[in-house]
Structure 1
């Protein structure tokens, strides 16, 4: 004796969104009765064969049909059947013809909701596009809901296309760096899927409006000076990232100034690479993601000989 031969004639019927009915004809038992059948599926062209859940769970050797469970909607599948006896599992049948399961409403919410940045008066919302296996149907896109934090009514925007990954809401009345509550769901032509959790996304920042009030500068060697300034208060327009020092030789135009940026909220810095015995004019500005604010009054420093 040996394991059974391959079953024949695998036919797919009663195609649903997550289930199908599979039938087959028995192959040769090779003189040892068939004890059970195993069903496998793959998503062509590149999917690997994987065992599927069935109803009944265990398929007896006298069965010639079973229901396949747990498929993904709107996906292409092929199926095959193997028979086993006491001596082992035989060669699988040839694959069934390819079928596509029925469409269904999306069952998973999009992830990766985030955003921010952009131009003044903009709310930029980003998310992770959903892969083919979660689309569940044609006519796929995203549905955004957003509102200023503390406001009672939601606005919505429909963004067609499975591959889209951001949306920009523009409105002159949006104040800089305002928190918005944002939610997202996906849709296809069968309907809307479940909604994500709420994320907080800020509207675009504007550059700082306030200048440091005072600047002090003093040469500390023939090629360096120390610069310090009165810090500006954290501004409602955005998140202060640091300060930009501009310095230029007396007699030059300010447009020719060199610039150095500090990262963080220290209110002093050392500027290097200067000419000896030279007078410099110095200004300081605050900056954030949107740009650089207005200049402080200028201060003068003389490098050493």
Structure 2
């Protein structure tokens, strides 16, 4: 036996996928409508859930006379949460209000939304009633920008029309699925997944594309017991590591943005390569 041999011990590295979740993003499109003597209906659009279901909302009101933000209502009714509207009571008559909201999930309270559109004080109406006029057009389709302007009209005519403002529309959950998914073995414990490029257009991605989730699980097991690897950016490939040699896997991919995940693409079967011999021969 040779005496110059050295024993080298290599650590075994286990790759365990994990996913970060957190408090929800801010709601969008806060709007107050159907004002009563002491109430109004507040509606909104759900923001990013950040991996956990939104369970309630906090609505704050701003009295233009007292000029302070205070709690208006905690929205906990499942129907109101699901339909994104609720009735806020306890308001003073003939008083201007603005509203803002925060979403809540199991991780806590998210950041506050932008405030609802402010109203013109009654003493500046110069008429018995007014209406708000809104015009907008698409400014840049690729990045969800819109250009809009708001002005006020009464029964006599239009008020001053301000300069247009450019803003970003709310992100929606994407519906596009990756096309032409191809899975190829990289080695005995890794697979590389390819797909066609995704156009970075809001009509396809629902807004700015965040990246892709690659889902994989052993053939013969349930998909929900599998794993998920995430690659960021508008890329066309990703690698899965830490697999078992000579094992049949099922693989798919889905794109995602800040609003949620798109449906997964076609499920592709693939087998990892055999590994090199692990044992020395006996002699």
TM, length-normalised to structure 2: 0.43
More helix by share: 2
Q: TM-score, normalised by structure 1?
A: 0.40
Whose radius of gyration is greater, 1 or 2?
Answer: 1
